[in-house]
Structure 1
Amino acid sequence: MEPQMVENKRIGVNEFTGRIVSGITFLDCDFSRTDLSETQFVDCSFYDRDRQVGCNFRSAKLKGASFKRCDISVCVFNFASALGLEISECKAQGADFSSASFMNVISSKSWFCSAYINKSNLAYANFSKVNLEKCELWDNRWTGANVMGASFAGSDLSGGEFSSFDWRSADFTGCDLTDSALGDLDIRTVNLDGVKVSRDQMSELAALLGINVLG
């Protein structure tokens, strides 16, 4: 029988590889460099509310892993190998994904990204220098997220909430932004080539420039 709480533990390299892990609270645990390929975490918490610290997934192997209905707030995912990672219906406020890799590099000129992050709270999360091109990233809350130097080109960002968000700091060309609350997006300063928005959104964006869209 699985314990319901694991505290201050260095997780073994292959301890959870490929497993389904459900309903466990991990407090200040170290998952760094562990192999979590194809591991499924369901209804788990990795956030210590009393000490306001998360778990460490630095340089972990997260290929095909998933977090569903989990609390990964302020967890550290720096330099993780995260191709195909799924984060669904999670609390991820302040989580640090900077320099994580969602890419499969085939050659110096051929590569692709894969990630499924949806219906999650990503407020104040750090995605700086992350490549999330052509990924499924819909229905998320991006309030105050750090996306400096990141690329979301071609991704589905529909249904998102983007208040207190710096649109100028990342590449959003070709993105689907339909049904999103676009916050302070200024179409004069952000490259929106190929971006999809609804007529109502276009009216709101144009209104900021003093233009009335009719019909």
Structure 2
Amino acid sequence: MPSIIEQLAGLFRKFPGIGSRQTKRFVYFLLQQDETYVQELISTIIKVRKHTHLCKESFQYFISDNNEILSPIVRDENRNKKILMVVLKDIDIEMIEKSHVYMGQYFVLGNFVPIIETRISDDNVRLPQLLNLIEQRATNDNLQEIILAFPLNTEGEHTRRYIQTRIEPIVNKYKIKISTLGRGLSTGTELEYIDNDTFTSAFETR
């Protein structure tokens, strides 16, 4: 049976991009902190869980003290509902919003489309929800453009091609433009790591 230190390290290991050595550093860092810090950390995690909701339309996480089911961006009447940007994860939206050049709506796909697997799980990749949203926006809001904004790596390119193929029938039906981010992004780039100027250039040359 693993020790409680190993158990805690194992929980940290589930964090994205965290290796075995880093998990142990986290554990020993916590052991060196006073009780006030540890309790504050625990309390903050519980608060984040309690007050964070998943938008039923864009699937973006947002903070709210009430029972709102739609994120502030979706509810904002000043946002352009004729443009929809499909991103991989929430943190991509944070970066894009800082650039102040995009005023459309978002959809968070949630994960890469697996390259090897032939059956795509709806729990990991929100394709049915995306198709429903496109149909809804095309009917009610005259959706005119879908921007596929995925990382420029093997998984991102595979995901882009797969999603583009799957949404093509509905896009052709409503004559919706499909675009991707343009000049300025190099191979391997992930949206969360690019600066405002680079994103602005890529967005304007899509």
Structure whose CA Rg is larger: 2
Q: TM-score, normalised by structure 2?
A: 0.27
Q: TM-score, normalised by structure 1?
A: 0.26
